[in-house]
Amino acid sequence: MSTTKRKNCHRENQGAMKADHNLDCSTPSKSCIPCHSRSLASKQSKRSRLDPIVLPTQLEEKTIVPATKNKQDNVKSIRQSSECSLQNIPCETKNIFRDFLLRPTDVQRGQCGLRNIGNTCFMNSAIQCLSNVSDLTEYILENDVTTILNTTNDLGTHGKLALAYADLIQNMWSGKQTITEGSLVKRYVSELSPRFAGYSQQDSHEFLNVLLDALHEDLKQDSDIIENEISLISEIFHGQIRSTVTCTCGEPLITFDSISFLALPIPKLPLPPPRRKNSGISIKRTVTLQDCFNELFKVETLRENGQWFCNKCDCLMDAEKKLELWTPPQVLILQLKRFTYDLSSNMKIQTLVEYPFDSSLDLGRFIADPNYSGNTHYELVAISSHTGSLAGGHYTTYAKNFLTNKWLHFNDEIVREVDEKTLLSANTYLLVYRRQ
């Protein structure tokens, strides 16, 4: 039996990005990667023009780790912050800051819409989901992200995206604005994924995935030990799955992969039997989230064109593959696979998936690590909803404000309070759960 560990990467072809970038090198310097130092200076100037959240005196005196500290100190800083904010350990500073956020403001903090700048509802929906994750948003509001920026990592944007996102969050949670826009975030995401550069309709999950991956690279604290290459993003959103492929000869191959989301297949519903007249039999046409997890983690047979190369047999062989959740993340993003991406049929799966929204989601039965001792209960904090078809549609977001515990519906610029009873819908596409 052999065991390997792999790192997951959602990076697009860098050569394609650079070629596209070179064509636009006449644009202002802040969009040019080789000029990133001037871009960061420009961003700092912009930050000074914003209305910052003024912290109470007790918080102004907190110690900030200098950016010039060595790599090990930066890694230690991220881990210590995570222990305070992610593990729900009593933290005096955090409690003081939460009290500060709860003070009355002109506009309820977080109740800020995002302007649609041209078919960008997919981006607005993704950002609103992420904005209402308290672990990340409160860190940004309370801390100076420049102290943990990675400006030398070519896999990211040299810190530009992280600063743009932090500025956007500061605006959205300032308690002074009802509408803002994410154009700078879109620009820097587009540098890494050119498909977002235009104004065509895109997928909210794909945008969120690229955004999180880029933020991870912008905030990654390098270390001599690869397992210590962590970031604020990895501490919140990354988990681990175990994959076991077993050849018919009995030889298994076990690998571990980092994940930032789980893509859940929606089981096909059996065709209803013919109904007898006046039979009174009601046919259930829904599936549960547990059904979707079972579908993802069931044993898959690899045969014919999908055969597996067995090192022991030294040839392609039939095999069985099984995925298991090994380490669940602090914040779990679930994608319901509604789109078939079959251009001939242009189908979207409209099955209603029932998921817990007024009670906790218990992942205990799906965690394979026998030594896992963390909390297995998760609460729903955000939903990305899609109406329409693959050819055209509209994204909105339902999110629970972590300061008021009220559910809000974000439809681009329009924000309104909603009853949680309206959350269950066949339009649900992304589910964001946070460990209790």
Residue 395 lies in a domain: yes
**Which residues, including other chains, have CB under 8 Å from residue 276's CB and lie 6 or more apart?**
none
Q: What is the mean pLDDT of the chain?
A: 81
- Tell me how far apart the alpha carbons of residues 31 and 192 are, in angstroms, rounded to a whole number: 12
Among 289, 271, 427, which Cα is nearest to 349's? Answer: 427
Among 313, 329, 161, 188, which Cα is nearest to 260's? Answer: 329
DSSP secondary structure letter of residue 55: P
pLDDT per residue as tens digits for the range 236-263: 999 999 999 999 999 999 999 999 999 9
* Helix, strand, coil percentages in the chain from 3-state DSSP, rounded to 5: 35, 25, 40
Do residues 243 and 296 lie in contact, with contact meaning Cβ atoms separated by under 8 Å?
Answer: no
Q: Over pLDDT 70: what percentage of the chain?
A: 72
Among 112, 36, 166, 100, which Cα is nearest to 401's? Answer: 112
Match 């990305």 to its residue by tokens: 384
Would you tell me how many other CB atoms lie within 10 Å of the CB of residue 435? 22
CA distance to 76, 82, 139, per residue, from 69 (Å): 11, 19, 20
Q: At what angle do helices 204-219 and 160-172 cross, to 10 degrees?
A: 110
Which tokens in the block code for residue 395? 């994204």
Q: Which residue has the higher pLDDT, 5 or 107?
A: 107
Residue 249 lies in a domain: yes
Prediction pTM value: 0.79
Q: What is the pLDDT of residue 85?
A: 45
Q: What is the DSSP string of 289-304?
A: HHHHHHHHHS-EEE-G
The stretches of 241-398 forming alpha helices (DSSP H) are 289-297
Residue 149 lies in a domain: yes
Which tokens in the block code for residue 263? 């893509």
- Tell me how far apart the alpha carbons of residues 162 and 151 are, in angstroms, rounded to a whole number: 10
Say which of 21, 36, 112, 121 is annotated catalytic: 121
pLDDT of 204 over the 50 cut = yes
pLDDT of 12 over the 70 cut = no
pLDDT per residue as tens digits for the range 308-349: 999 999 999 999 999 999 999 999 999 999 987 665 666 889
Q: What is the pLDDT of residue 96?
A: 87
- Tell me how far apart the alpha carbons of residues 232 and 81 are, in angstroms, rounded to a whole number: 9
Question: CA angle 20-205-332, nearest 5°?
Answer: 130
Do residues 384 and 397 lie in contact, with contact meaning Cβ atoms separated by under 8 Å?
Answer: yes
Q: What is the pLDDT of residue 390?
A: 78
Q: What is the pLDDT of residue 308?
A: 92
Q: Are strands 352-354 and 286-288 parallel, antiparallel or unpaired?
A: parallel
- Tell me how far apart the alpha carbons of residues 169 and 218 are, in angstroms, rounded to a whole number: 16
The HSE-up count of residue 86 (CA atoms within 13 Å, CB side) is 18
pLDDT per residue as tens digits for the range 350-403: 999 999 999 999 999 999 999 999 999 999 999 999 999 877 899 999 999 999
**Which residues, including other chains, have CB under 8 Å from residue 145's CB and lie 6 or more apart?**
162, 163, 166, 219
Q: Which residue has the higher pLDDT, 409 or 78?
A: 409
Q: Which domain holds residue 413?
A: 91-268+283-435
- Tell me how far apart the alpha carbons of residues 81 and 65 are, in angstroms, rounded to a whole number: 11
Q: Which band of pLDDT confidence, cut at 50, 70 and 90, is reported for residue 108?
A: very high
Residue 117 lies in a domain: yes
Residue 3 lies in a domain: no
The stretches of 238-327 forming alpha helices (DSSP H) are 289-297
Do residues 100 and 375 lie in contact, with contact meaning Cβ atoms separated by under 8 Å?
Answer: no
Q: Is 337 helix (H, G, I), strand (E, B) or coil?
A: coil
Strand partners, 319: 247, 302
Specify whether the backbone of 346 is left (phi greater than 0), alpha (psi in -120 to 50) or beta: left
Residue 2 lies in a domain: no
Question: CA angle 222-230-156, nearest 5°?
Answer: 65
Domain count, the chain: 1
The stretches of 50-199 forming alpha helices (DSSP H) are 57-60, 71-85, 92-101, 121-131, 134-142, 160-172, 183-192
Do residues 133 and 172 lie in contact, with contact meaning Cβ atoms separated by under 8 Å?
Answer: no
Q: Phi and psi of 361, rounded to 5°?
A: -95, 120
pLDDT per residue as tens digits for the range 23-72: 233 333 333 433 433 343 343 333 333 344 444 333 333 333 334 344 44
| CA 126 and chain centroid, separation | 8
- Tell me how far apart the alpha carbons of residues 38 and 324 are, in angstroms, rounded to a whole number: 46
CATH number, domain of 183, equals 3.90.70.10
The HSE-up count of residue 268 (CA atoms within 13 Å, CB side) is 3
- Give the highest mean pLDDT range of 35-44, 114-123, 272-281: 114-123
Task: Give the pLDDT mean for 169-198.
Answer: 96
Q: What is the pLDDT of residue 342?
A: 62
Residue 33 lies in a domain: no
Q: Is 349 helix (H, G, I), strand (E, B) or coil?
A: coil
Tell me if residue 121 is catalytic.
Answer: yes
- Tell me how far apart the alpha carbons of residues 389 and 328 are, in angstroms, rounded to a whole number: 32
Residue 355 lies in a domain: yes
